[in-house]
Structure 1
Amino acid sequence: MSWRPLYRSSKFRHVYGKPANKEYCYDGVPITRSVQDNYFCSVNPKFIAVVTECAGGGAFYVIPIGQTGKIDPLQPKVCGHKGNVLDIKWNPFDDYIIASSSEDSTVKIWEIPKYGISKNITNSKLDLQSHSRRVGIVEWHPTAKDILFSAGYDYRIMIWNLNSGEQLIRNPVKILDCHKDVILSMSFNTDGSRLATSCKDKKMRIIDCHTGGVLQESSTKSHKTNKVLYLGNLKMLVSAGYSKWNNRQIALWDQEDLSVPLREEDLDGSLGVLFPFYDPDTHMLYLAGKGEGNIRYYEISSEKPYLHFLMDFRSTLPQKGMGVMPKRGLDVSTCEVFRFYKLVTIKSLIEPVSMIVPRRSESYQEDIYPMTAGAQPALTAQEWLNGTNKDPILMSLKPGCNRPQLSPLKKGNELLGPSDHVKNEQVAVNTFQENKEQRNTEKVQEQRKNLISNGYDLSECPVPKTENELLQMFYRQQEEIRRLRELVAQREIRVKQLELEIKNVRNSPVGY
């Protein structure tokens, strides 16, 4: 019998990183010099937001995702904070709402115009002022609409209901006060019922978001945690930090027992903080080091040895921070399964890096694109505050097929039965179809009203005076063209569905 090496079968074994060509990068973006170990970048399918410097306060850029190339030095900014901006996050259910936190101890909510900003924005939509010290982190709840978490250097986590009345909105609805030092990172589980945190006291905690009680707390001294991240539905966490010998290290943990890690993996002796990113659809974990250009990636399994190294993406351009495109913004025609936006300070550059599964077929690869979390909330703010938890509403990434589907939902702490699930799914589908038809009607009416002179209402779009205004006008036109194409594609799909229904009716036997 001849010896054969044992290889672990995986469709993601040969995933490779592909940096964007120079014309598809964002050049000339002055990136913040803050020493905070944050990402400083947030991305959605419409915009990329990047923290920058601003005289007399803090600011960040909001750039349309298609406005690549050289950025105008006079590009307008969002600049209403009195101190440096430390964190920014897009609302997962509204691509035009972004939250920012700052050294001025405030959290601000901003509404971005439909086609981007044409002049500096200084007035926020909401101003949240309950922290007593600077606010380092903001996180949106993953399934509930208008629920925002913020962590400050006052060791407290505030929970805000942005849908409450004008008087109530300035006060947090809950305060999680269980930390004794600065909170370094936060991560939600899939349904948002639990929050994992890492703290400067070298401990990890798992907190019940509704009660504020600490469910688990790590006690090991062999692993100094910096960043913590929930691993989707695997009921596991990963932490990135340092070993007792000051080697960079990652550790995997059971969410029900933080006393001993399931596995520890030493990486190297570098000092840069590791930024972990996880894709629950492919079960892939990415590790990007601050101050270096490399990205390691692994595949996670629920059985030993849990962690399976795949490959390194290597680059000579060091990243200060990173943003990640949501799955609904990826290019499925190229088998792209993840996309980073690297902030390269030394070149004032933002470089997109796509992670691609090599496939020869140009058709949609359903096996690498399962149903994924969409842009519709599963809960209202009040439902979540009343104690309800639900998994996210899923959507398909297949072109022309955007019908949301419900995850296995929960009724209290019990799984729904088959009849409940079918009923809820039918209600969700019917509601979605009604909303879709209404949105399409509104789109047509808006396009008929505004599409004058090649897509513009000349009363609303004056003659551009600067290069930036000209670019804004160009990207508005591109956006309108894209929307019209989507509308045509939807109509074609509907026509085909009706033709099939007519054919089935004609071919069905008459009588019983």
Structure 2
Amino acid sequence: MSWRPQYRSSKFRHVYGKAATKENCFDGVPITRGVQDNNFCAVNPRFLAVVTECAGGGAFLVLSVHHTGKVDPHHPRVSGHRGNVLDVKWNPFDDYCIASCSEDATVKVWEIPPHGLLKNMTVALKELQGHSRRVGLIEWHPTAKNILFSTAYDYKVMIWNLDCPEQVIKNPVRTISHHTDVVLSMSFNVDASLMATTCKDRKIRLLEPRSGTLLQEANCKTHKASKVLILDNVNKLLTSGTSRWNDRQIALWDLDDLSVPLLEENLDGSSGFLFPFYDPDTHMLYLAGKGDGNIRYYEISSEKPYIHYLTEYRSNLPQKGMGVMPKRGLDVSSCEVFRFYKLVTIKALIEPLSMIVPRRSESYQEDIYPMTAGNKAALTADEWLTGIDRGPVLMSLKPGHPTGESDGECEKDQAYIRDRLIAKNGGKTDSNGVAGNGGTTVSNGQDFLLCSPPKTENELRVKFYKQQDEIRRLVDLLHQRDVRIKQLELEINNMKNSQQNSLEHF
């Protein structure tokens, strides 16, 4: 009897990475040269935000995820910070709301217009002033609306309630002061009743964030942890970092007992940082190396040996940071289960990378797309602060099911388009308050102001792209008019100067 290798049966064993074509990448992006071990990038189904190099303060770009290709070097930016921006994160329940933190010791919350940026944005929706040194990390609460966590080089973790009416908030609702050095990462379980942190003092801490109570503390003697993830559905905690011999290493811990790691696995001797990403729907763990182009991926189980190696995606384009698309933004028709946005500094490039399960059938694959966390908050900030914990509001990714987009977002799009059409028609409206002369109908014949969903996914996609194209057309038209006005102003000034010089000559 011949020997045969034993493979673990898994539907994700053949997952492979597929990089986007050049025309579907973002080219010419001046990615920050900062040395902070952050992702420098955040993505949602509408926008991509990336921290950029900027003179005289900190700034980041906000681009439409569909507006790929060459990026205009003069593209408007969010530039209200006085120091370098260190981290950006989209609000999980509002695709137009993004938070940023900076070396200027502030956290700012911005509201991005539905059409994107037409000019530099310098005035924030909220400004959080509480830290005494530069703020390195921010995280949104995974289920409660308008709760934001921040940590800075003052060794403190602060919790903010953005429902406060003031634009400038100086007092956090909670300050956690258990750390004796800089906090390197934060992670939450599914309802944020637990928070795990790694710190430069080589300790892993498990806390109850609402009260700030320290539940457990692990002193890592053989493993220097940098990043931490709570793997809630298998009751484990994962850290990535280095061994005592400076090999890149991951460690797995029992969430109920952090005294000794369940396992430590050395990966290689590279000096680059490891970014861990976990997908609880597929139980897949991705490890992306900073400074190289490789991404290892594994499947996590609750029984030994816990971590099962699947394969590795290799690329000669090294990544400086990684953004991750939420599950509701994936292309289920191509069996895409994860999507990265790689920041490639050497080419000023952002490259989308899809992780795909190979399937012959083109129909929706129920087994790889369970119900997943949507963009509806499970509770308000006040409810969470009073002691209520609640898991995420789940949604289906099946085409034809509600996407979870709120009516308010649709109305926000409608209001902007209505305002622009009215402005385009010189402020004229018909008896219904709509832009005159057929202002509701655009060049492609679609009614812009109606928000009733089409019957099929293809119709929805076609309508969405048509609307995006029309918005871009209107934005380009406005930009062309602005340029023409500036040209005319310069010509008028030149004529005035020449006339004045002629009179002086005579």
State the identity %: 65
Cα 1:202–1:439 shift into 2, 3 Å: closer
Maintained 8 Å contact 2:291/2:318: yes
Tell me the distance in 2 between the aligned counterparts of 1:19 and 1:125: 36
Size of the aligned set, in residue pairs, is 443
2:296 matched to which residue of 1?
296
Alpha-carbon deviation of 1:255? 1.0
Q: Deviations over 1:425-480 (max 9, x none)?
A: xxxxxxx9xx76x988x699x49x9579xxx7262599xxxxxxxxxxxxx999x8
1:206 matched to which residue of 2?
206
Q: Deviations over 1:278-308 (max 9, x none)?
A: 0000000000011000000000000000000
Maintained 8 Å contact 1:29/1:348: yes
Alpha-carbon deviation of 1:50? 0.2
Aligned residue for 1:93, secondary structure, equals coil
2:463 matched to which residue of 1?
none
Q: Deviations over 1:315-339 (max 9, x none)?
A: 0000011100000000000000000
Cα 1:364–1:201 shift into 2, 3 Å: same
Tell me the distance in 2 between the aligned counterparts of 1:339 and 1:491: 20
Cα 1:491–1:72 shift into 2, 3 Å: closer
Tell me the distance in 1 between the aligned counterparts of 2:418 and 2:375: 27
Tell me the distance in 2 between the aligned counterparts of 1:18 and 1:24: 12
Give 5+ residue unaligned stretches, structure 1.
405-431, 463-475, 494-512
1:160-199 equivalences in 2 (<5 Å): 160-166=160-166, 169-199=169-199
1:10 matched to which residue of 2?
10
The one-letter code matched in structure 2 to 1:295 is I
Maintained 8 Å contact 2:103/2:134: yes
2:344 matched to which residue of 1?
344
Maintained 8 Å contact 2:228/2:239: yes
2:454 matched to which residue of 1?
488
Give 5+ residue unaligned stretches, structure 2.
427-441, 460-506
Tell me the distance in 1 between the aligned counterparts of 2:116 and 2:241: 38
Maintained 8 Å contact 2:400/2:457: no
Maintained 8 Å contact 2:101/2:136: yes
Aligned residue for 1:89, secondary structure, equals strand
Maintained 8 Å contact 1:184/1:199: yes
Cα 1:491–1:185 shift into 2, 3 Å: closer
Aligned residue for 1:107, secondary structure, equals strand
1:457 matched to which residue of 2?
421
1:129-278 equivalences in 2 (<5 Å): 129-166=129-166, 169-278=169-278
Aligned residue for 1:333, secondary structure, equals helix
1:504 matched to which residue of 2?
none
Q: Deviations over 1:110-155 (max 9, x none)?
A: 0000110010001111111110000000000000000000000000
Q: Is 2:364 the counterpart of 1:364? A: yes
Stretches (4+) displaced over 6 A: 480-486, 490-493
Tell me the distance in 1 between the aligned counterparts of 2:452 and 2:290: 39
The one-letter code matched in structure 2 to 1:317 is L
Alpha-carbon deviation of 1:55? 1.5
Maintained 8 Å contact 2:240/2:274: yes
Tell me the distance in 2 between the aligned counterparts of 1:168 and 1:349: 35
The one-letter code matched in structure 2 to 1:331 is D
Aligned residue for 1:489, secondary structure, equals coil
Tell me the distance in 1 between the aligned counterparts of 2:253 and 2:267: 17
Cα 1:20–1:490 shift into 2, 3 Å: closer
Alpha-carbon deviation of 1:164? 2.0
The one-letter code matched in structure 2 to 1:31 is I
Aligned residue for 1:95, secondary structure, equals coil
Cα 1:373–1:215 shift into 2, 3 Å: same
Tell me the distance in 2 between the aligned counterparts of 1:209 and 1:99: 20
1:285 matched to which residue of 2?
285
Aligned residue for 1:239, secondary structure, equals strand
Tell me the distance in 2 between the aligned counterparts of 1:386 and 1:151: 22
The one-letter code matched in structure 1 to 2:421 is D
Greater displacement, 247-256 / 232-241: 232-241
Greater displacement, 365-374 / 229-238: 229-238
Tell me the distance in 1 between the aligned counterparts of 2:32 and 2:168: 33
Tell me the distance in 1 between the aligned counterparts of 2:134 and 2:261: 32
1:384 matched to which residue of 2?
384
Tell me the distance in 2 between the aligned counterparts of 1:367 and 1:42: 28
The one-letter code matched in structure 2 to 1:457 is L
Maintained 8 Å contact 2:249/2:265: yes
Q: Deviations over 1:245-293 (max 9, x none)?
A: 1100000111111111111110000011100000000000000011000
Alpha-carbon deviation of 1:157? 0.4
Q: Is 2:23 the counterpart of 1:57? A: no
Tell me the distance in 2 between the aligned counterparts of 1:119 and 1:53: 18
Maintained 8 Å contact 1:220/1:259: no
1:491-510 equivalences in 2 (<5 Å): none
Maintained 8 Å contact 2:127/2:167: no
The one-letter code matched in structure 2 to 1:192 is A
Maintained 8 Å contact 1:196/1:230: yes
Maintained 8 Å contact 2:335/2:365: yes
| RMSD, aligned α-carbons | 2.6
Aligned residue for 1:29, secondary structure, equals coil
Alpha-carbon deviation of 1:167? 7.9
Aligned residue for 1:218, secondary structure, equals strand
2:487 matched to which residue of 1?
none
Cα 1:117–1:14 shift into 2, 3 Å: same
Q: Is 2:91 the counterpart of 1:69? A: no
1:302-313 equivalences in 2 (<5 Å): 302-313=302-313
What TM-score, normalized by structure 2, do the two folds share?
0.83
